[in-house]
């Protein structure tokens, strides 16, 4: 896949103006899943902006035209605030994030599922069914040996690996309320919220949402028109989710990482980082 197209996809997902750089990338794959997840979470909580280290204030407003040119339209990233160490000014007055495709992506693990049909075949990751992204192309992210524990067991195919989940730009509490959870993981805050959801159907679970079903994720994905080839694409993130952090929702095929009410911004960001790890950027013609 054309690196320019992949950077456009990252821009569409994150709301940043992601441009090619020759040196070290200013953001890594984990930063992008953090930003996508936190954008949806804080928007659901009623906030207008997201503060992210080294970037400053990130607007949570959606653009009016979902297929608008992401570079000529006003960027979602406002000018960095004092103390945030922003990444420089772009041509339209907003900040630009530089990413080096050679280090950000890992072409060894790219895979073209465009014409793949699994039929009745069943795949497992972490003893959970893995619905492969048939019909999509995957650009693999460079994530091996990138985490503090130094282990890539989370990324393997065995019983101890983390299950696969998919994340779109519009996946939030509207997908369904939290309802069930493993007993050993229960805490008073969660149980209170779950109980409230039983009597108040509108109550949304407070957390980060994703799904193991790529077909469901596609309904909530971001769509953008590429400047590289003029075609319109759908884009998703393919992640692994920590099974000890994942909760079930009332709606089938929806998972959530529950964020306690008393969590600070720093604690919420740390929770996302220890719960959801990206490994693939998925693209499909719309």
pLDDT of 187-234, one tens digit each? 555 555 555 444 444 335 788 999 999 999 999 899 999 998 999 999
Output DSSP code: residue 260: -
Q: How much of the chain exceeds pLDDT 90, in percent?
A: 59
Average pLDDT over residues 59-76: 48
- From the CB of residue 67, how many other CB atoms can be counted at a distance below 10 Å? 12
Alpha-helix runs per DSSP H in the chain: 3-14, 29-44, 101-104, 188-199, 214-218, 265-275
* pLDDT category of residue 235 using cuts at 50, 70 and 90: very high
Kindly indicate the confidence band of residue 78, based on its pLDDT and cuts at 50, 70 and 90: very low
Give yes or no for a contact between 284 and 135, defined as CB atoms under 8 angstroms apart: yes
- Tell me the backbone φ, ψ of residue 181, rounded to 5 degrees: -160, 150
99 CB-near residues (< 8 Å, 6+ apart): 7, 10, 18, 19, 20, 21, 25, 26, 27
| Number of other residues whose CB lies within 10 A of the CB of residue 202 | 8
Residue 194: phi and psi, rounded to 5, are -65, -40
104, burial (CB in 10 Å: exposed 0-12, middle 13-18, buried 19+): buried
Report the alpha-carbon distance of residue 111 to residue 122 in Å, rounded.
18
Among 54-58, 164-168, 187-191, 264-268, the range scoring the smallest mean pLDDT is: 187-191
| Closest among 101, 103, 68, 74 to 16, alpha carbons compared | 74
Query: In the predicted model, what is the mean pLDDT of the chain?
Result: 81
H or E segment to which residue 115 belongs:
none
């Amino acid at each position: 896949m054309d690196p320019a197209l992949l950077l456009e996809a990252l821009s569409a997902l994150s709301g940043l103006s992601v441009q090619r750089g020759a040196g070290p990338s200013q953001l890594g794959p984990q930063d992008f899943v953090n930003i996508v997840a936190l954008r949806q979470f804080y928007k659901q909580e009623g906030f207008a902006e997201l503060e992210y280290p080294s970037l400053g204030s990130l607007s949570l407003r959606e653009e009016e035209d979902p297929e608008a040119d992401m570079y000529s339209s006003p960027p979602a990233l406002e000018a960095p605030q004092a103390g945030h160490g922003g990444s420089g000014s772009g041509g339209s007055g907003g900040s630009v994030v530089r990413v080096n495709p050679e280090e950000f992506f890992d072409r060894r693990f790219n895979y073209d599922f465009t014409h793949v049909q699994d039929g009745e075949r069943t795949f497992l990751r972490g003893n959970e069914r893995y619905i492969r992204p048939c019909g999509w192309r995957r650009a693999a992210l460079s994530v091996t040996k990138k985490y503090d524990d130094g282990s890539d067991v989370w990324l393997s195919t065995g019983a101890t690996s983390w299950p696969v989940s998919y994340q779109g730009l519009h996946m939030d509490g509207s997908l369904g309320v939290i309802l069930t959870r493993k007993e050993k993981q229960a805490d008073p805050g969660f149980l209170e919220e779950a109980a409230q959801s039983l009597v108040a159907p509108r109550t949304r679970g407070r957390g980060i949402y994703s799904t193991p079903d790529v077909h469901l994720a596609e309904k909530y994905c971001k769509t953008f028109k590429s400047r590289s080839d003029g075609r319109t694409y759908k884009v998703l993130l393919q992640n692994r989710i920590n099974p000890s952090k994942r909760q079930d929702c009332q709606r089938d095929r929806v998972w959530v990482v529950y964020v306690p009410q008393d969590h600070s911004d720093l604690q919420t960001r740390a929770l996302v980082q220890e719960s959801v790890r990206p490994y693939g950027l998925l693209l499909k013609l719309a």
